[in-house]
Amino acid sequence: MPLDPAQRHQIEQDAITVAWKAERLAACDDAIALLREVADLERDDDGDVILWADENGHNDLTSRISTFLADHNQ
């Protein structure tokens, strides 16, 4: 038995919602992984995180956080 347009629309909306929630959960998992990395970084005598930069002045963690934020800015 074919679905009526209202049922079809509701199923499509439910699928979109589920996909959005899955994407948000994946983003949260990625953010937690980055925060755990920050927690494990070396610290100076004052307890501040020591961020190392390469020869070009780029910091991998800072770059990854910036990329993460840009990718998940919705």
The CA distance from 50 to 23, in Å, is 31
Over the chain (74 residues), the average pLDDT of each successive run of 10 is 88 94 88 79 74 67 78 73
Q: Helix, strand or coil for residue 60?
A: helix
pTM: 0.53
- Please say whether the beta carbons of 51 and 42 come within 8 A: no
The per-residue pLDDT for range 11-28, each reduced to its tens digit, is 999 999 999 999 888 888
